[in-house]
């Protein structure tokens, strides 16, 4: 099973600042098989990035994804109030599909 | 717009069977792969498995022996059965669509979940 480790666990930032979230895999994951989700309290996760770098429908261009192999990054260029949430990475390079433990982006 | 809605009992006793249904609106269930995912504070997000109307399934090995998924095309629904539940199965259960992107007549797998239900809390307690 591919283990995804996300860091940091919590990111305390102010609106307007940039955020860099890391997702490290225990073995190589094809770029096409890496996704990122945003989850707010009481809601289901929402797809943000698929294929490591493609934005999902309706996702603003301040969100970007990058990386390859075992290291992937989600970047939010300028945090808006609605961006404060928990972010998860997910892989399906090999079964079973797995998720990372999440990074909480909170208001400083 | 495409919507998914989970339904089923919210409280079970240990050793009982969990049965959930996901009703799919505004898209044919035959067009996609359908998944169950659960979330708990202890385990985080955990993929349970997927089902296709053709009968194709893939289950998480950690739950494989207890899981069955099926599709009812006449009702545009798919379902999850998890046997011999314990407190460790207490979680929010989500159904979700495996995304596909189509452009110019060509479709490609997103390898991600593009539509989720709102989730349903299932508690296992004696």
Size of interface A-B (CB pairs under 8 A): 57
Q: Which of A34, A47, A96 sits opposite B47 (nearest CB)?
A: A96
What mean pLDDT comes out for the span A4-30?
97
Mark yes or no for CB contact A45/B45 under 8 Å: yes
End-to-end Cα, chain B, rounded Å: 40
Higher pLDDT pick, A92 / B108: A92
CA distances in angstroms from B79 to A27, A101, B4, B5, B76, listed in the order given: 32, 26, 12, 11, 10
Please list the residues that pair with B111 across neighbouring strands: none
Q: Answer yes or no: are the C-beta atoms of A22 and A47 closer than 8 Å.
A: no
What mean pLDDT comes out for the span B64-86?
95
CA closest to A51 among chain B residues? B110
Residue B44 has pLDDT above 90, yes or no: yes
SS (H, E, C) A5-73: EEECCEEEECCCCCEEEEEEEEEEECHHHEEEEEECCCCCCEEEEECCCEECCCCCCCEEEEEEEEEEE
- Could you report the per-residue pLDDT of B57-70, keeping only the tens digit for each? 999 999 988 999 99
Instruction: Tabulate helix, strand, coil % of chain B (nearest 5).
Output: 5, 60, 35
What contacts A82, CB < 8 A, 6 or more positions away?
none
Q: What is the pLDDT of residue B102?
A: 82
Q: What is the pLDDT of residue B106?
A: 87
Q: Which of B60, B62, B112 sits opposite A90 (nearest CB)?
A: B112
Residue B5 has pLDDT above 90, yes or no: yes
Q: Which of B44, B60, B114 sits opposite A96 (nearest CB)?
A: B60
Q: Answer yes or no: are the C-beta atoms of B53 and B73 closer than 8 Å.
A: yes
Per-chain mean pLDDT for chain B: 95
Judged by CB atoms within 8 Å, which residues 45-84 of A form the interface with B? 45-47, 50-51, 56-57
């Amino acid at each position: 099973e591919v283990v995804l480790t996300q860091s940091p666990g919590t990111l305390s930032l102010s609106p307007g600042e940039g955020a860099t979230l890391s997702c490290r895999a225990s073995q190589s994951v094809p770029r096409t098989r890496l996704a990122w989700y945003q989850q707010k309290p009481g809601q289901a996760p929402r797809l943000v990035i698929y294929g490591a770098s493609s934005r999902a429908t309706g996702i603003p261009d301040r969100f970007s994804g990058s990386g390859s192999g075992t290291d992937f990054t989600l970047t939010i260029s300028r945090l808006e109030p609605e961006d404060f949430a928990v972010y998860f990475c997910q892989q399906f390079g090999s079964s079973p599909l797995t998720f990372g433990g999440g990074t909480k982006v909170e208001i400083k | 717009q495409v919507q998914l809605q989970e339904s089923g009992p919210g409280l079970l006793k240990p050793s009982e069977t969990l049965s959930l249904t996901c009703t799919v609106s505004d898209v044919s269930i035959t067009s996609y792969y359908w998944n169950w995912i659960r979330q708990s504070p202890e385990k985080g997000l955990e993929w349970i498995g997927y089902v296709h109307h053709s009968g194709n399934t893939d289950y998480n090995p950690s739950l494989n022996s207890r899981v069955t998924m099926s599709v009812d095309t006449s009702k545009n629904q798919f379902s999850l059965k998890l046997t011999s539940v314990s407190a460790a199965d207490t979680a929010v259960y989500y159904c979700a669509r495996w995304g596909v992107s189509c452009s110019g007549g060509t479709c490609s797998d997103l390898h991600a979940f593009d539509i989720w239900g709102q989730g349903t809390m299932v508690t296992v307690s004696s």
